């Protein structure tokens, strides 16, 4: 099987935990070595980057200062570009949060930590 071209992918990884951001970046890079990957550590920084960069994918944490910051990032991204793909991950296992994420139209897929890292990379890769 030949190499899949990932150079047309531009990915924004949003998480306030530096270790998780780096782990997601390394994992996504292993799946998509030619993709352009940017990082943001907050909702505000993500929105600034979304304002000026044409991302194909956003991988965001749910809770970053605000319990629903990741949902706001997802909505902002979809408002900028309805075709953008959004993956949200969370360490929260609150039963109500699962229902909220399932009902949120701006999120294409979500997962719970710790298994979310590989699921996030697969989310990007499966769009190829």
Here the CATH number for the domain that contains residue 65 is: 3.40.50.2300
Question: In whole angstroms, what is the distance from residue 7 CA to residue 91 CA?
Answer: 31
Residue 5 in domain: no
SS3 content of the chain, % helix, strand, coil (to 5): 45, 20, 35
Instruction: Find the domain containing 14 and state its range.
Output: 10-125
Q: Residue 93: pLDDT above 80?
A: no
- Report the SS3 class of residue 11: strand
Residue 4 in domain: no
Radius of gyration of the chain (CA): 13
Residue 63 in domain: yes
Copy the structure tokens of residue 22.
Answer: 């780096």
Residue 2 in domain: no
Residue 82 in domain: yes
Residue 1 in domain: no
Q: Residue 122: pLDDT above 80?
A: no
Domain count, the chain: 1
> In sequence order, what are the residues at sequence separation of 6 or more whose Cβ sits closer than 8 angstroms to the Cβ of residue 125?
31, 32
- Report the SS3 class of residue 17: coil
36-55 residue pLDDT tens: 999 999 999 999 999 999 99
Q: Residue 1: pLDDT above 50?
A: no
What is the average pLDDT value for the chain, to the nearest integer?
Answer: 89
pTM of the model: 0.89
């Amino acid at each position: 099987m030949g190499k899949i071209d990932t150079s047309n992918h531009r990915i924004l990884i949003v998480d306030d935990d530096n270790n998780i951001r780096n782990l997601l970046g390394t994992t996504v890079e292993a799946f998509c070595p030619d993709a352009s990957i940017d990082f943001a550590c907050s909702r505000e920084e993500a929105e600034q980057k979304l304002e000026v960069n044409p991302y194909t994918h956003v991988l965001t944490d749910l809770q970053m200062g605000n319990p629903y910051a990741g949902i706001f990032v997802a909505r902002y991204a979809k408002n900028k570009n309805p075709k953008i793909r959004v993956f949200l991950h969370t360490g929260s296992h609150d039963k109500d949060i699962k229902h909220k994420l399932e009902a949120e139209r701006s999120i294409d897929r979500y997962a719970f930590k710790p298994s979310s890292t590989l699921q996030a990379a697969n989310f990007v890769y499966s769009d190829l």
